[in-house]
Homo-oligomer: A and B are copies of this chain.
Amino acid sequence: MADQPELTIQGWGPPPSGGSTDAAGPPALEEALPKAARRHLAKELGWTPRHTPPVPVADIRLTPPRLPEATLAALTALLGEDNVRTDREARLLRAGGKSYLDLLRRRAGDASDAPDAVVLPGTTEETAALLALCSEHDVVVVPFGGGTSVVGGLAGVDPDDRPAVALDLRRMASVQAIDVPSSMVTVGPGMRGPQLEAALAAEGLTFGHLPQSWEFATLGGYAATRSSGQASTGVGRFDDLVAGLTLATPSGVLEVGHPPASAAGPDLLGLALGSEGTLGVITELTLRVRPKPATTSYEGWSFRTWAAGLAALQRLARHDLLPDVVRLSDVDETRANLLMSAGTGARLLRGMLRGRGHGEGCLLVVGWEGLPDIVRARTRAASSLLRAGGGIRLGHQVGESWRKHRFGAPYTRDTLLDSGLMVETLETAASWSALPTVYDAVGRALRASLTAGGRRPLVMTHLSHGYPTGASLYFTVLADRDDELPIQQWLGAKRAATDALLAAGGTLTHHHAVGADHRPWLDREIGALGVEVLRAVKARLDPKGICNPGVLLPD
Interface residues of chain A, those whose CB is within 8 Å of chain B, are 179, 181-184, 225-228, 237, 239, 243, 249, 251-256, 258-276, 279, 288, 290-291, 314, 317-321, 370-371, 373-374, 376-378, 380-381, 429-434, 465, 467-472, 507-514, 518, 522, 525-527, 529-530, 532-537, 539-541, 552
Distance, CA A552 to CA B539, complexed state (A): 22
Known: A533-B537, A536-B537. A267 touches B267 (CB 8 A): yes
A263 touches B227 (CB 8 A): yes
Indicate if the CB atoms of B276 and A271 lie closer than 8 Å.
Answer: no
Report the minimal beta-carbon distance from A494 to chain B, rounded to whole angstroms: 15
In the assembled complex, how far is the CB of residue A373 from the closest CB belonging to chain B, in whole angstroms?
Answer: 5
How far apart sit A407 and B189, CA to CA, in the bound complex (Å)? 45
Cα(A273)–Cα(B263), bound, Å: 9
Which residues of B have CB within 8 Å of A529? 249, 251-254, 541
How many copies altogether? 2
Besides A179-B431, A263-B514, A536-B539, 18 other A-B contacts (C-beta < 8 A): A181-B433, A182-B469, A182-B470, A183-B468, A243-B469, A251-B529, A254-B527, A255-B530, A260-B431, A261-B472, A263-B507, A264-B274, A265-B276, A265-B513, A265-B526, A270-B271, A288-B469, A290-B468
Q: Which residues of B contact A274 (CB under 8 A)?
A: 263-267
Q: Could you tell me if A267 and B261 are in contact, using CB atoms closer than 8 angstroms? A: no
List the B residue with the shortest CB-CB distance to A237.
B261
Q: Given A251-B529, A381-B374, answer yes or no on A507-B429 (Cβ-Cβ < 8 Å).
A: no
Residues of B within 8 A of A249 (CB): 529
Asked if B514 and A265 make an inter-chain contact with CB atoms under 8 angstroms apart, the answer reads: yes
Contact A183 B509 (CB under 8 A): no
Contacts of A266 in B (CB 8 A): 270-275, 279, 534, 537
| Cα of A194 to Cα of B59 in the assembled complex, Å | 70
- Smallest CB gap from A314: residue in B: B181
Q: List the B residue with the shortest CB-CB distance to A269.
A: B270
| 8 Å CB contact of A526 from B268, B510, B539 | B268
CA distance A539 to B540 in the complex (A): 11
Write the chain B residue with the least CB distance to A384: B373
The answer to whether B518 touches A264 (Cβ under 8 A) is yes
B260 touches A467 (CB 8 A): yes
The reply to whether B273 and A267 form a contact with Cβ atoms under 8 Å apart is yes
**Cα distance, A228 to B260, chains bound together (Å):** 13
User: In the bound complex, do residue B262 and residue A510 qualify as a contact, i.e. CB atoms below 8 Å apart?
Assistant: yes
Chain B residues near A271 (CB, 8 Å)? Answer: 266-267, 270-271, 533
CB neighbours (8 Å) of A429 from chain B are 258, 260-262
> Which of A261, A374, A470: most chain B CB closer than 10 A?
A261
Q: How many angstroms between the C-alpha atoms of A512 and B262 in the bound complex?
A: 9
With contacts A530-B268, A532-B540 known, is A471 near B260, CB below 8 A?
A: yes
Given the complex, which residues of B lie within 8 Å of A376, measured CB to CB?
Answer: 377
Distance from A187 Cβ to chain B, minimum over Cβ atoms (Å): 15
Q: Are A507 and B371 in touch, CB under 8 angstroms?
A: no
A226 to B270, CA, bound (A): 14
A386-B432 Cα distance, complex, nearest whole Å: 38
In angstroms, Cα B349 to Cα A505, docked, is 56
Chain B residues whose C-beta falls within 8 Å of the C-beta of A267 in the assembled complex: 239, 267, 270-271, 273-274
Contact yes or no, B433 A179, CB < 8 A: yes
CB-nearest residue of chain B to A225: B263
A115 → chain B, closest Cβ, in Å?
A: 23
Bound-state CA distance A430–B258 (Å) is: 8
Q: Are B182 and A260 neighbours in the complex by a CB distance under 8 Å?
A: no
Contact B509 A254 (CB under 8 A): no
- Can you sample 24 A-B contacts with CB below 8 Å? A182-B470, A183-B317, A225-B263, A252-B529, A253-B529, A255-B530, A259-B431, A259-B469, A260-B429, A260-B470, A263-B274, A263-B514, A264-B525, A265-B275, A266-B275, A267-B274, A270-B271, A288-B468, A320-B374, A321-B371, A321-B374, A374-B377, A376-B377, A532-B540
